[in-house]
Amino acid sequence: MKWEPESGAGVRVLLVDDDAYHREALREVLESLEFSVVGEAADGAEAIEQAEQTNPHVVLMDLRMPVLGGIESTQAIRKRQPSVQVIILTAFDDFGLRIAAEEVGAYCYLPKGSSAELISHSILKARDYTVA
């Protein structure tokens, strides 16, 4: 069965990753699915600032970044903006990090290299969780 992408129209997404190439690739995929990429950040401190300025529905957050990591910035974003959902998207498949992400309020934890289908579906579910 062929995957038919769901439209991300109207869903505001903030991309947070210290790898500019990865952010650009994600932006292209998300925009092709009609998601609105409202901002980008290269570290957790920028992510907190961008989240306050852009009021996204969902943040796609890397874990290991300079200045402030994904766990700490997720915690700060969720504390300041409880309606914003954070999806951890990382190369580190570590059970301890998964638990830490869950404890600070991350919606879910996905490995980098996840399919466009999984990322899109996760963003839409996170957005629905926010609206509900």
The reply to whether 81 falls in a domain is yes
How confident is the prediction along the chain (132 residues), in pLDDT tens digits per residue? Answer: 444 556 677 899 999 999 999 999 999 999 999 999 999 999 999 999 999 999 999 999 998 888 898 999 999 999 999 999 999 988 877 787 788 888 999 999 898 888 989 999 999 999 987 554
C-alpha neighbours within 13 Å on the C-beta side of residue 67: 13
Q: Is residue 89 part of a domain?
A: yes
Q: Is residue 126 part of a domain?
A: yes
CATH code, 73: 3.40.50.2300
Q: Which domain holds residue 109?
A: 12-131
| CA 65 to centroid of chain Cα atoms | 14
**Rounded-to-integer distance, Cα 88 and Cα 9, Å:** 21
> Is residue 38 included in any domain, yes or no?
yes
DSSP tally for the chain: helices H, then strands E: 5, 5
Question: Based on the structure, what is the number of domains in the chain?
Answer: 1
Report the C-alpha gap between 111 and 129 in whole angstroms: 21
